[in-house]
Each structure stands twice: as structure tokens, then as C-alpha cells.
Structure 1
Amino acid sequence: MQSNKNTAINKAAKPYAGVLTGDITGSQSFSDEDFRTILAVLEQHLSNYAMQYNGHFDIYRGDAFQLAVNQPQYCMHIALGLRLALKAHTPSVDVRISVAVGKAHFRPKEVKTGTGEAFVLSGRGLDKIKSNYLAFYSGNTELESKTQLLTRFADTHVSGLTQTQSETLLAYLQAADKSHENIAALLNKNRSNVSRILNASNYKLVAEYLDYMEQTIATQKQ
């Protein structure tokens, strides 16, 4: 599913990027200690995704973040991964994420000063999410029309997942060996229990949605 990852940023060769702008919901309701652990989980996963998909990120204003990756076809994998990781955390929390793909330029470690279509659409999109948690934007109207309704369904589904379902689904999506036996071993759970949780999470539909988004974004690059 994943291509070979380059380690160097080449803005001239790869101006097309995926930008994720997000914030932690209800951040003021947590104790200082709990919020520090939430930020640590967020930073760890942002760091992992930046390394995996050739990108960089910033965390700013305490509860907001922005990640730009030069492999935009994987941006929805990242968005759902971040949400599931934080919903699986104790205390459980959700994040709003506005995803956009398009032309973008950014400097390593200065993502929040990035420019271009993807940054504009992603930033504006977060302001428009309101009661939702996930949205996808593109300057390519055909790409948007193919994906926005599906993304709203995916958003609603993920919003309703429990902490245990989020943990199990994230483990499944990230595992190279996706057999239920392997997921059970990773989580130190009973195999039949893992199968029950995954089925209740509609894991196959989530995986199909991510595959569809990956393929559609990859084929619509401008």
C-alpha cells in the first residue's frame, strides 16, 4: 500500500502536498497532567507520520497542529490514524481535522508558515467544520465531488467508535499482518474478542474507504 519513502524534501519537484490542520476538542476540560499526556501522544503520532510520509509538522497555540506531507495520497490514513490514536488514549479525546490536497510549499520545522492552495483550503476548512470532526478539500472540484460525501459518512462512523474499538481498529489499520490472530497478539487480547470488536467497528468498510481515498487522490494529482 505504501511506496518507498524519500527522506529529503524537494519543494521544486514535489509542490503537490497533503495538509492536515487540526485541534484538540475540549482541551480546556482536561487537567494539566492529562493534557500533557494527550499532547505527548499527538506529538508522537505526528512525528511518526511525518517520518513515514515525508513531511513536517507544528503544534501551536497549545492545542492546534498542522502536518504537511509530500505523499498526499495517504493524508486520510493519517487523519483517521490520529483520531483513532487519541480516542484510544486514556483519557479519550477526539480531534477535528481539516484535510486538503493541492499545491503547497513549506520549510522543514516551519509548517505553519507554509503557503499554497493546500494550506489555504485546510486552514479555512477547519473553521467550517463546526460540529463535525473530519473534512476533505481540494481545488480539484472533481476530486471533491467524489470524496466529500464518503468522508462525511466516515467522520460520523469514527465519531461513534468506543475507546476499545478505536484501539483495535487502529492496530488493524497499522499492522502489516492484518490477521485477527496477529492483532490479538499485538493487543494481548483474545482472538475471538478482537474479531467481535473489529466487526462491530465495520473495519472492512473503513479500510475500503481509506483505499478508495488513497487511489482517488493519487490519480487526481494536478
Structure 2
Amino acid sequence: MHESMDCIGVVTGDVVSSTSAREPGRVQETLSRVLNEVALANRSGMVRDFAVYRGDGFQGVVTPEGALRVALHIRMSLLAEFRGWGEKKLDVRMGVGVGRVDALGESPGQSRGEAFLLSGRGVDELSVKVAEKRRLAVRTPWEPFNRAMVPQCALFDALASGWTDRQSRAAGFALQECGTETRIGELMGIGQSTAHKHLAASGFWAVEKFIEYYERSVRELVSGEEHPHD
């Protein structure tokens, strides 16, 4: 069954250095679990749940406005898992694509359109930029917005690269809007003051600003409103 939609968001990604992990099977198992958890936590923004390909590749269909939040939630959750293993090389790269859809199938692999092409190109670009260690790319039909997102994605990558597993997990819970720092602490088995320290050290306030900018901009662009970078 296919559905017709004007504009969608697509998140495509894969795990970096998964073949070097001591337990490759654990990587695949963790990836599938985290993607399911993220889909459940972002149910209102999901269009098609994530499918896992080739063991460490994945793709999901989301709303245009919610695409970045979902992608960052995946990154935070996987970093929390991978850093906890003590394997610093493990990470995830993702391409966020926003655009038209020609055919939307029951799974991402059965779908096609501009958003899928842009998301895939984003991942391909990250694959050849090894020296820069870029992990996130956003591609849309609006080039001025794309250019504005490049330095913001780079700054997020630089910020996230220094996170510990607990900072990543605290940021992931905060992104789910789990409530107060006290509640985040309860979920992590730590006190409120420690949860506050993890969030402050992660620079989560800057991540919130990044997401707010993306959501506001995409909402305006999709609706045809004037955008400050046009």
C-alpha cells in the first residue's frame, strides 16, 4: 500500500567502524533496539519505522520538522551505548533529507523520491569526508538553508565527539522531554544534581537551540513562508 504525501523527512545512517567492534553481533542488536526505542519515543513524528540493512545501516521516514530531533536522539542513544563499551571508534553517521516523495511503501526500502535521494547523498558525503570526522549532514531543496546548516552540524559533531556515555544518556533523556532533572536522574539511577552536571557538561542547551532553529526554519520553508536565509 502506498500513500501520497507532499513532503517528508528521511533519516539514513550507518554505524562507523562496526567491523572493528569486539562483538559485531552486539552492535547490530544494540542498533535495532535503540532504533525501536527512538521510534517509540518519537511516535508523533514517525511516518515509517526504521528498517536495518546490511547489519549496521538503517533508514526511517519521519515528518520534515521532526527529522533532526529523531536523528540526534539516535546519535545520543547510540553514543551512550558505545562509549559505555569503552570502544571510542564506534559512532554513527546520518544524512537527514527533506523533500518530495514519489512513492511511500510499507518499508523505507520500498519507497522513493527526492527526500530519499537527499538523505542518501548526505551519508555518501560524510563517507568521503573522513579527515573532518563529520557525522551529520542535512540536505533539503533549499540551498540557502543547507549552507546555514553545515557549520551548525559541524559544531554539533564537535560537541558530541567529547561526550561521555553518561552525558550522552542524560542528553538523550532530556531530548525525550522526560521531565525534570530529578526524573532524568531517576531514569539513570543518579541524583538530580549529578543529572544537572551531566546535562551542563554535554552543552545540551546548545543542542536545544540547534533543534529549535531547524524546526522553525523547516516549518517556514515547507509552508512556503519567507525564510531569513532566502
Q: Would the TM-score normalized by the shorter structure come out above 0.5?
A: yes
**CA deviation vs aligned residue, 1:107-164 (integer Å, no higher than 9, x gap):** 3433123222111111112111133111111111122133222122112211221111
**C-alpha separation between the residues in 1 aligned to 2:32 and 2:114?**
30
Equivalences for 1:1-222 in 2 at 5 Å? 11-12=3-4, 14-30=5-21, 31-45=23-37, 47-48=39-40, 51-56=43-48, 57-69=50-62, 71-89=63-81, 90-91=84-85, 93-130=90-127, 131=130, 132-177=134-179, 179-221=180-222
Question: Within 1, Cα distance between the matches of 2:209 and 2:38?
Answer: 23
Q: TM-score w.r.t. structure 1 length?
A: 0.86
SS in 2 for 1:104: coil
Q: Deviations over 1:156-179 (max 9, x none)?
A: 2112211111011111111242x2
For normalisation by structure 2, the TM-score amounts to: 0.83
Q: What SS class does the counterpart of residue 190 from structure 2 fall into?
A: coil
Structure 1 gaps, min length 5: 1-8
1:22 and 1:126 in contact (8 A); partners too: yes
Cα distance change of structure 1 residues 111 and 36 upon mapping to structure 2, 3 Å threshold: closer
Which 5+ residue runs of structure 2 have no aligned equivalent? Answer: 225-230
RMSD value, Cα: 2.1
1:185 Cα deviation after fit: 2.0
Give the AA of the match of 2:141: G
Q: Aligned pair count?
A: 211
Q: Percent identity?
A: 27
- Larger strand proportion of the pair: 1
Render the CA deviation track for 1:32-78: whole Å, top value 9, x for unaligned. Answer: 44224323323423542673313213211111111111x21111101
Q: Quick check: 2:2–2:105 contact (8 Å CA) kept in 1?
A: no
* Alpha carbons 2:35, 2:74 under 8 Å: kept: no
